[in-house]
Chain A
Amino acid sequence: MSELTQELKAKIITQLNLEDLTVEDLEDTTPLFGDGLGLDSIDALELIVMLDKSYGIKLSDPKEGRKVFETVQTMADFIEANRK
């Protein structure tokens, strides 16, 4: 499981151009949106594209994404449960 969270952190940082952040800085339970990392709606869409391209999971409703993308941990849990 921790291998997936490590992989996810690296992907998130690259995909979303979070230049000032390292994998070590990003904790499993830091809120990605709102007060934590402060990601926005375009970032959410990029994460949806990433879920599809890297893990074969299609999210068609952006609102569903908010729950899935709460933290790196919730993302990892979702991927484990749904990956092809």
Chain B
Amino acid sequence: MDTPPYTIQSHCIIRGRSIRLNGEKLFEMNASETLFDFLKVVYRKLDIDYPKFHKMDGLCKAIFIATELLARESGPYDTRTALIFANRSSSFLSDDKHATAIFAAENASASPATFVYTLPNIALGEISIRHQLHSENVFFIFDRYMPDFFVPYTHAVLDGKEVGSALCGWVEITEQTCDLFLYHVGKSGTHPHTVAQLKRIYDEHE
């Protein structure tokens, strides 16, 4: 079998109560912290100056932080870095918030700032704005993380293109749980971009 031309340059997992970068635990939640408070704390610890972060919903915040960590590790991202993301619940956190507001028994009203986030691909827009990515971007709805789909799809997107760089993510986030696996695919580094490698990394810290 030929050596795959693409590698996993860096990866980030936000799961359980911690954030791991390339397998190493960087941040850990306090017992009483919610995921969203935790992300805010990490934002400050990383010394990021981007006030728009605070307007984002939980899905966007998690993706934003992970993307930031990967950028610092194996970036900066080329403007043509493709974005290939998926999850199961779409933008449920914001969908729920919007629905609750418009169907409230009293004082029903729609918040435009909430409605903006009722689409899962808004997160791709947010990181595109932050890192100035004018690239191909897609968001799938799958039952679970499917590296057997992601790998050939990523290769199809990158093959024949000058820039062989993509950010891929499985980002299933609910009120209580976060199962985020984000990785930067490129041409340098030691981990080959294969289904076996991705499964290994994803399952390692289950």
Contacts and interface: CB of A to CB of B under 8 A. Distances in A.
Direct A/B contact, Cβ within 8 angstroms: yes
Interface of A: 16-20, 38, 42-43, 45-46, 49, 52-53
B112 A46 contact: yes
Contacts of B51: 18-20, 38
B55 interface: yes
A53 B113 contact: no
Contacts of B110: 49
Nearest to A41: B112
Interface residues of B, number: 11
B54 interface: yes
Contacts of B109: 49, 52-53
Nearest to A48: B112
A18 B54 contact: yes
B129 to A, nearest CB: 11
A18 to B, nearest CB: 7
B110 to A, nearest CB: 8
Contacts of A52: 109
A17 B112 contact: no
B111 interface: yes
Contacts, number: 30
A42 B54 contact: no
B116 interface: yes
A53 B55 CA distance: 20
A17 B55 CA distance: 6
A53 B112 contact: no
B54 A19 contact: yes
Contacts of A45: 112-113
B107 interface: yes
Given A42-B55, A42-B113, 13 more contacts: A16-B55, A17-B113, A18-B54, A19-B51, A19-B54, A43-B113, A45-B112, A46-B111, A46-B112, A49-B110, A49-B112, A52-B109, A53-B107
A52 B110 CA distance: 12
The 5 residue pairs across chains A and B that have the minimum distance between CB atoms = A45-B112, A17-B54, A19-B54, A17-B55, A46-B113
Contacts of A20: 51, 54
Contacts of B113: 16-17, 42-43, 45-46
23 contacts: A16-B55, A16-B113, A17-B54, A17-B55, A18-B54, A19-B40, A19-B54, A20-B51, A20-B54, A38-B51, A42-B55, A42-B112, A42-B113, A42-B116, A43-B113, A45-B112, A45-B113, A46-B111, A46-B112, A46-B113, A49-B111, A49-B112, A53-B109
